[in-house]
Structure formats: structure tokens, C-alpha cells
Amino acid sequence: MTHASRGMGSAGEEQHTGRVRSLVWRDGALHLIDQRHLPLAFETVVCRTAAEVADAIRSMVVRGAPAIGAAAAYGMVLGARELAGRGADVRGGLQEVANLLKAARPTAVNLFWAVDRMLSVLERWPQLSDEELVDKLEAEASAIADEDARTCRAIGAHGAELLEPGGVLTHCNTGALATVDYGTALGVIRAAHAAGKQIHVYATETRPFLQGARLTTWELLQEGIPVTLITDNMAAYVMAQGLVKSVIVGADRITANGDVVNKIGTYGLAVLAKEHGIPFYVAAPVSTLDLNLKHGWQVPIEERDPKEVTHVLGRRIAPEGVPVINPAFDVTPNRYVTAIITEHGVVRPPFEEGLARLAQPEKRGATSA
């Protein structure tokens, strides 16, 4: 990977014309905002090989389930170009590229969905030459990215009317940086704000990687949406004070029964929301559904580097030798979820029936809005 550094001044100038895109395909390479360094520095990483894309996903240069899926799609394009460039069989070698990308992060189902969709191109165009196949793969990856932008706006439109004016608590980062350029849960907040609702966001810092403190607040400040940062363990306090009217989060995987696998800490927020009588919404595209799994505890939970817990911004804060567990995600049982907001409408309990309808395009019209 190659790095291109830019100061916060130029980043701020970009924001005057709209949100940043987490990723851009340009000149045959994938350009990613390096989310590890925000908000202190605005830097980009350029990936020119599939291995570099896999490393960018694994190391959290790019993060957020939809953004990971789009990045992986372009990783498949780069892998196909590498194979064609050295005279290897593109069709024969692309499965290995797919395996490399899928291994980068095991929990986000969008990664697997996007890679499998790219592999389906091979089946749809069995007679194409390798050069023609690479072009088809690039077109498919661009379609995935473009569809994500439209999908997030549709999620925002469906969800905005659910949010009451007042405080909205959100967790992790689910905005333009987690998708291609708009956001899922943060897209709902954006849409509500644009519609004139008096929304005030309470953003959890989201330990241990601090996506809320570093990324969500940065995005919202850029757009002038009122936001207050709280530590994760302040959530109960702000709810008890009546400052929160709704909670909205994203998802990395939603199983057939409506269990939600999302950033660690989500489960605790859902329990607190129910205790305080606050609706708990989940915003996610249909590509995040995994109806092959009956419940959330069947999902592999990624265990990350202990240094994310023992260190903050590279500086050790815990004693040497202390044991650490660092699951990246937890499972929120469906009984705590008020509704799941998708691009095709809002699904309420019982989730099994509504989510199954979403998987069948001919029946989506029956989903409540």
C-alpha cells in the first residue's frame, strides 16, 4: 500500500461540497481514507493489489460492513488484473483471491456477500476472455459501490420518520466512513436532520478503537449536526436523565431470527434502552442479512489484537502482562430490537417473517414502511 498524507485543512475544504467517500476507484487503484488516523490527520491509502486490500480491511484502514464489502469487490478486480498480468488463468485463480479477502475479517457478512457476488460474474460470462472478464468485474465492483450509495439514502428515508425530535444515541461509526458515502444509522440521522427534525446526537466513544469519538463526531461536526460525545459507560446516565429519545445503531450481520451482531457494546445499550423504555433501532442494508443462520451466536466473533485494549493511540495504559479479551462484536438478542430499518422498508417483530420477505424481491412490497 502507498500512503498519501493530507492535512486537516484540505479535508475540511472537501466537506464544504459534501461528505467524503470512504473509498474511490481511480486510475486502476483503490483509494481509501485511512480511518486509523482521523481526526488528527486526513490521509489516504492507495491499494494496487488484492493483498493490499485484504491488509487494509484487516488493519482497519477501511471499516464498516458496507465499506468493507465495496472495498473487497475492488480487491477482486485487482486480483483478477494481477492474474491476467502474469498470464495466469483468471478464472482458476480468482477463488484464491476470494479466500484471501474473506479471511481478512470473519464477522461482517457484507464482505462475503460482495466477494461471492463478484465470483458470480464468472458464471454469468463463461465465454469471455480474461481481459473482457476483468472489465466485467470492474463494472460489477462499481455497481456494488453505486448501489450502496443509493441503498443508504433509502435507509435514511425510511428511518428518518421513526426518530423523535430530541436526543438520539448512536454507537460506533455508521456514516459515510462506514459505507461508501452516506451511512446506515448515521444516514437515518442525516435524513432526519435534513427534514428539519431537531435532532441532537449522543455519540459513544466506542472503546476500544474509538470509532465514535474519532469518526462519528468528526462527520457530524463537518455537517453541522449537533453532537455530544460521551464515554461508553455514560449511556445509562444520559438515558436516566431523559436526554435520549431513541437509540439507533448499524449491524455487521443480522440472522434469520432478528438477532443483531454489531460493534462490541451494542448489546449493553440495547438492554439499557429497554430498561428506560427507549426504542432501539437497527439500520442495515439487506446485504447484511444472513438468513442461513438461525441466531446470532452462530456468527463467528472476531477477536482482535489485545493492544487495542492495553494501548490508546499507540501508548500503553495497562500494565505489562495483564490478560485481555478483545471481541470486536457482540450479539443483541432480537427481543431488545424495536425495528430493523432497511432500504426496502422497516421490519418489526416477529422478525423471522419480515426478514424472510426481504430476501424475496417479489414479496418486498408487503414490508411495512
Evaluated on CA atoms 63, 64, 67, 71, the torsion sign reads: positive
Q: Which of 206, 200, 198, 197 is nearest to 177 (CA)?
A: 206
C-alpha cell read off for 297: 451466536
CA pseudo-torsion sign 189, 62, 288, 135: positive
Catalytic hit among 34, 148, 252, 259: 252
Known catalytic residue: 252?
A: yes
- Cα–Cα distance list, 207 to 172, 197, 211, 313, 327 (Å): 9, 29, 8, 12, 11
> Distance (Å, rounded) from C-alpha 285 to C-alpha 343?
6
* Cα–Cα dist 126/108, whole Å: 29
DSSP annotation of 306 reads: T
Q: Which residues pair with 2 in a beta bridge?
A: 46
Q: Which three cell numbers stand for residue 232?
A: 461508553
DSSP state string for 16-70: TTSPPPSEEEETTEEEEE-TTSTTT-EEEEEE-SHHHHHHHHHTTSS-SHHHHHH
Q: Which amino acid is at 299?
A: V
Residues carrying an active site annotation: 252
